Amino acid sequence: MKELWTLFITFAQIGGLTFGGGYAMLPMLQREVVERYGWATEEELTDYFAIGQCTPGIIAVNTATFVGYKRRGVLGGICATLGVVAPSLVIITIIAAFLQNFADNPYVQDAFAGIRVCVCVLILRAVEKLWKKSVVDRPSLVVFALVFVASAFLDLSPIALVLLAGAAGVVLKALAQKGGDRA
């Protein structure tokens, strides 16, 4: 019971501090889920993000369900997910009810222009950490570089990229084994 509550509250904090979509939640996930509670490893987080890319639904929700389920089964998955959506529910309902012009307020615009810069830097730091765990040799560096270019400059669908990368993993490992046998 207590751990279900911890899951809910932790993910509520993460949801409440995620500015600008699922990726922005990564720094918070690393801090709370990996470093503080040890609910998942850095590698598992990248796995969840990859799976979240090609399954329906919002990445933040998918990741919360994964971590919660891993900890405490179905109920854990539900608690973590309700936690991650709770702040949005409260904040957006208040804004929709009372503050329709909220986004036009100049102070809000200035504050969020500053926050967006911070989110960039937080994501950069998060990528540095993931890099150490996922780009482990030359083939994985190539996969990283190709996916980065295809996604940032060619606007290819992430689903296709994730599926191709999974297939590439199988092929690359097979080639490495073959090379190893010969050597």
Partner 1 sequence: MMLLLRLYYEFFKAGLFAVGGGLATLPFLYDISDRLGWFTHQDLSNLIAISESTPGPIGINAATYVGYLTAGPLGAVIATLGLITPSIIIIIVIAQMLERFRSNPLVDKVFYGLRPASTGLIAAAGFLVFKNALWSSEALSILSAIRWPAVVLAVVLYFAIKKWDKHPIWYLAASAVVGIVFHFSAL
136-155 binders of partner 1 (CB under 8 A): 140-141, 143-148, 151-152
Does 27 participate in binding partner 1 (rule CB under 8 A)? Answer: yes
Provide the token pair at 178: 């073959």
Residue 108 as a binder of partner 1 (CB under 8 A): the answer is: yes
Interatomic CA distance for residues 181 and 24, integer angstroms: 43
Helix axes 158-182, 42-54, angle to 10 degrees: 130
Residue (5 or 35) nearer to partner 1, CB: 35
Angle (CA) 92-53-133 rounded to 5° is: 110
> What would the 3-class secondary structure string for 129-157 be?
HHHHHHCCCHHHHHHHHHHHHHHHCCCCC
Interface with partner 1 (CB under 8 A), residue from 98, 134, 179, 182: 134
Pick from 107, 180, 181, 183: which binds partner 1 (CB under 8 A)?
107
Task: From 75, 13, 69, 6, select the one nearest 37 (Cα to Cα).
Answer: 6
Task: Please identify which residue in 5, 9, 41, 115 interacts with partner 1, judged by CB under 8 A.
Answer: 115
Instruction: Say whether residue 11 binds partner 1 (CB under 8 A).
Output: no
By C-beta, is 1 or 107 nearer to partner 1? 107
Using CB under 8 A as the binding rule, whether residue 4 contacts partner 1 is answered as: no
Task: Enumerate residues 72-91 that contact partner 1 by CB under 8 A.
Answer: 74, 77-78, 81, 84-85, 87-89, 91
